[in-house]
Structure 1
Amino acid sequence: MNNRTSYFYDPDVGNFHYGAGHPMKPHRLSLTHSLVLHYGLYKKMMVFKPYKASQHDMCRFHSEDYIDFLQKVSPNNMQGFTKSLNTFNVGDDCPVFPGLFEFCSRYTGASLQGATQLNHKICDIAINWAGGLHHAKKFEVRRKCCMLSFLPAELITFNCRVKKTKMISVFKASGFCYVNDIVISILELLKYHPRVLYIDIDIHHGDGVQEAFYLTDRVMTVSFHKYGNYFFPGTGDMYEVGAESGRYYCLNVPLRDGIDDQSYRQLFQPVIKQVVDFYQPTCIVLQCGADSLGCDRLGCFNLSIRGHGDCVEFVKSFKIPLLVLGGGGYTVRNVARCWTFETSLLLDESISDELPYSEYFEYFAPDFTLHPDVSTRIENQNSRPYLEQIRQTVFENLKMLNHAPSVQIHDVPSDVLSYERTDEPDPDERGGEENYTRPEAANEFYDGDHDNDKESDVEI
């Protein structure tokens, strides 16, 4: 019997624009959805125009001051928010653009609705390709002579080499991410699920999610990512394992440049199988950042679209309730290919390598296929001894988990969304102009030849 799959898509989420030359392009979501439609995959899913997250929803993780700032700031008034822009790290990587809060509300609401549907067993798999923004933080600690900058403030006191440590809690945007929809969704899942497993296959370390759950055993975080040579965000060493109740419930798999399908698979599958066997999660959240593909504009791995999809298919094989989210990915045509292919895998549907004609067909020139060669000339620097060292360290850490943590009987908090409402809109409704404000970009999402997704953009 096929899994019941819910798919969340806001028809306007792809119209937001970070600004000229910025690598993060929400337009990739429009390309992805177009392929999902023209392959006919929508017929196999429950399709929802998602809920918009409120300020209250976002403040379940972020501070009221930060969310209030996101709602008020705009390109027209940002000169009056100079101090807040600096405090909250909003500027270059995380620019102020028209509709910023609306964008956050839409992608966060979709992830939150997916979590709520999983809680109520409305679906077995929930998909929100707009979500997965894993870098947004609750706070950052600035300190003197402290070796572990990634740790929450509560832990810094016993990890400093000197007693006098200056600590400042800062609620912040980071790495193109403003609101951490993943953390907010996991908090919703924890109302019903005693153990949630978070898996991250973005090329960048899932630092915001790790930091949020570093002290608890209710959530286990597992991140496969590039580490070293000052690669952003600079965290994710294999010896970052959690602390207090969360010790050994944080697992990092640091990788080097050029890892290919075979090397990744030989590490990913045994590690995830061991984690599932030891931790026994009742729900899984999978972040599918597509910047781990070869030829990504900001990446340095050599995964193919099939290799990336193998990870999704393997996680699905455990038949555990699954929330699937997007993430990074900066060569938009390949992001759309990847997430469309992974949608088909989640539905157990085979689709043709020949792309169907759509309004975005020319984006996929010159091959117009689902699985082009995305390999680069980057050498695989992940030697067998290095991968074996990682595997052994990870397995040793897993042995430190004595049992899957349990949760005492408790009253379940009220849901963000009610599924007993009689005024629930038609799940297939796409919405009209009267239902929402349509964001309009100042251009066609690109700013001249220098800002196009071209093979020449990739440094190899």
Structure 2
Amino acid sequence: MVRASQATTFSASAYFDDRGPHGTAQPITERVNPHSRPIVSYFFPKGVGEFHYGERHPMKPHRLTLTNALVMGYGLDKQIHHIYNPRPATQVELEMYHDHDYVEFLSRVTPNNQNEMRHLIDTFNCVEDCPIFAEMYDFCRMYAGASLAGARKLCSGTCDTAINWSGGLHHAKRGEASGFCYVNDIVLAILELLRYHPRVLYIDIDIHHGDGVELAFYHSNRVMTVSFHKYTGEFFPGTGKVDDNGANLGKHFCLNVPLQDGIDDEMYLTVFKTVIEDTVTAFRPTAIVLQCGADSLGCDRLGAFNLSIAAHGECVNFV
């Protein structure tokens, strides 16, 4: 989910609309009224829930279809101003961040030719938790395209909040897959936001450290990354120590909040609200990107936190 700051950006600044396939900025006169009800845009790529990582794999894209059905079934779509079936990202757009050779590999590898491409599969870390599955590249293009479309709507000033349930794959690196993630749609969306926004705040409430996003902006003072995650030194991905806080221009623009097993609603919300309130006050972001990983909920098979759905939702509401 990405959100633009009304007070610092959309109430007084020119907006941009995307022209052409890659979003060339052009000033337009439309403005969002900062005192009106927030305008929400919802992005759900048709067919994004039809992919399959593998029978025993914990990543289940079909849950995206179920989530979308719940949104419609509960009538939440009535609270949404615009619903979009966004186009897939192009190879050129994916290469705004990812290495050309890596994207080429993703576009070519299939379950049928993976034996012949074994050396590249190992090189690009598409092993174990990042398996090769049917139409994998199409899946990546779909969820990345949705995040890019959301970022462009925010930059155009035609919405205040953009939602992409299929996005948030925060572990992918510039030239390799990691932790179920092949393309880092979050980094692509933030890069798009940076075309217009001077400062972007990234917040991650997945139980795993948002290492891919942190790494991408570790040397930048225009993106502040804040990750709330389990940290033991061994729990995947093994990064996110409290004293990892950026480098060079990005020094102190990276904030890690390592947490222990069993943290409950009250403690998590106290930490979350205190950290985010102070961060927003100091950094003054003009756009916020929120990764809402649900494995921080209690009883998740990959995690060990004890959060309720209500507390998870309160974090989103607070932002």
Per the normalisation by structure 2, the TM-score is 0.88
Distance in structure 2 (CA, Å) of the matches to 1:137 and 1:75: 22
Runs of 4 or more, structure 1, over 4 Å off, are none
Provide the rounded CA distance (Å) in 2 between the counterparts of 1:184 and 1:229: 28
Partner of 2:21: none
The aligned counterpart of 1:115 is 151
SS in 2 for 1:220: strand
Residue number in structure 2 paired with 1:298: 302
> Counterpart of 2:141?
105
Secondary structure in 1 matching 2:243: coil
Return the offset for 1:43: 2.1
Contact kept? 2:233, 2:239, Cα under 8 Å:
no
The within-5 A match list for 1:330-345 is none
Q: Is the 2:171–2:179 Cα contact (8 Å) retained in structure 1?
A: yes
Q: What CA distance in whole angstroms lies between the structure 2 residues aligned with 1:84 and 1:229?
A: 29
Q: 1:44, CA displacement in angstroms? A: 2.1
Matched residue, 2:101:
65
**C-alpha deviations, 1:105-156, integer Å up to 9, x for none?**
0000000000000000110000001000000011xxxxxxxxxxxxxxxxxx
Aligned to 1:147: none
1:208-223 alignment runs, 5 A limit? 208-223=212-227
Q: Distance in 2 between matches of 1:57 and 1:10?
A: 17
Q: Distance in 1 between matches of 2:85 and 2:123?
A: 34
Structure-2 residue corresponding to 1:54:
90
- How far the C-alpha of 1:229 sits from its partner, in A, is 5.0
**In 1: Cα distance, 2:153 partner to 2:296 partner:** 29
Give the aligned partner of residue 230 of structure 2.
Answer: 226
Letter in 1 for 2:166: A
More strand by share: 2
| Among 1, 9, 33, the residue aligned to 2:68 | 33
Aligned equivalents of 2:248 and 2:109: distance in 1?
38
Could you tell me which residue of structure 2 aligns to residue 173 of structure 1?
A: 177
Give the equivalent residue in structure 1 for 2:116: 80
Q: Tell me which amino acid in the other structure corresponds to 1:120.
A: S
Q: CA separation in 1, counterparts of 2:61 and 2:300?
A: 16
Provide, for residues 224-248 of structure 1, a one-character-per-residue CA deviation record: whole Å limited to 9, x for no partner: 0000051000000010010100000
Aligned 1:37-436 pairs, distance under 5 A: 37-45=72-80, 46-138=82-174, 171-228=175-232, 230-315=234-319
Aligned-pair identity (%)? 59
Distance in 1 (CA, whole Å) between partners of 2:254 and 2:233 is: 22
> Alignment partner of 1:278: what SS?
helix
Distance of 2:195 and 2:183 partners within structure 1 = 20
The letter of the residue matching 2:164 is N
Amino acid of the residue matched to residue 127 of structure 1? I
- CA–CA distance in structure 2, aligned partners of residues 257 and 42 of structure 1: 35
Deviations 1:381-433 (A, max 9, x none): xxxxxxxxxxxxxxxxxxxxxxxxxxxxxxxxxxxxxxxxxxxxxxxxxxxxx
The 3-state SS of whatever aligns with 2:244 is coil
Tell me how far apart the structure 2 counterparts of residues 275 and 108 of structure 1 sit (CA, whole Å): 27
1:307 and 1:26 mapped to 2: Cα distance? 24
Match of 2:54 in 1: 19
| Structure 1 residues 64-108: Cα deviation after superposition (integer angstroms, max 9, x where no partner) | 100000000000011110110000000211000001000000000
Distance of 2:285 and 2:66 partners within structure 1: 33
Distance (whole Å) between structure 2 residues aligned to residue 91 and residue 230 of structure 1: 19
Give, in whole Å, the separation in 1 of the partners of 2:199 and 2:231: 27
Structure 1 residue 10, shift from structure 2 partner: 1.6
Q: Which runs of 5+ in 2 are unaligned?
A: 1-35
Letter in 2 for 1:203: I
Q: Match of 1:78, SS? A: coil
Letter in 2 for 1:249: F
Q: Which residue of 1 aligns with 2:19?
A: none
What one-letter code is carried by the residue in structure 2 that aligns with 1:40? Answer: G
Deviation at 1:40, TM superposition (A): 1.1
Number of equivalenced pairs: 283
1:11, CA displacement in angstroms? 2.5
Note if contact 2:45-2:87 (Cα within 8 Å) is conserved in structure 1.
no
Cα distance, 1:229–1:246 mapped onto 2, change above 3 Å: closer
Q: Which amino acid aligns with 1:236?
A: G
* Partner residue in 2 for 1:420: none
Q: Distance in 1 between matches of 2:266 and 2:76?
A: 28
CA distance in 2, matches of 1:10, 1:172: 24
Please tell me the residue identity of whatever aligns with 1:31.
L
Q: Give, as a single letter, the amino acid of the residue that structure 2 aligns with 1:69.
A: F
Q: Report the Cα offset of residue 41 of structure 1.
A: 1.1
C-alpha deviation, 1:50, in angstroms = 1.1
Superimposed CA distance per residue, residues 318-369 of structure 1 (whole angstroms, 9 cap, x where no aligned partner): xxxxxxxxxxxxxxxxxxxxxxxxxxxxxxxxxxxxxxxxxxxxxxxxxxxx
CA–CA distance in structure 2, aligned partners of residues 257 and 270 of structure 1: 20
Provide the rounded CA distance (Å) in 2 between the counterparts of 1:273 and 1:302. 23
User: 2:32 corresponds to which residue?
Assistant: none
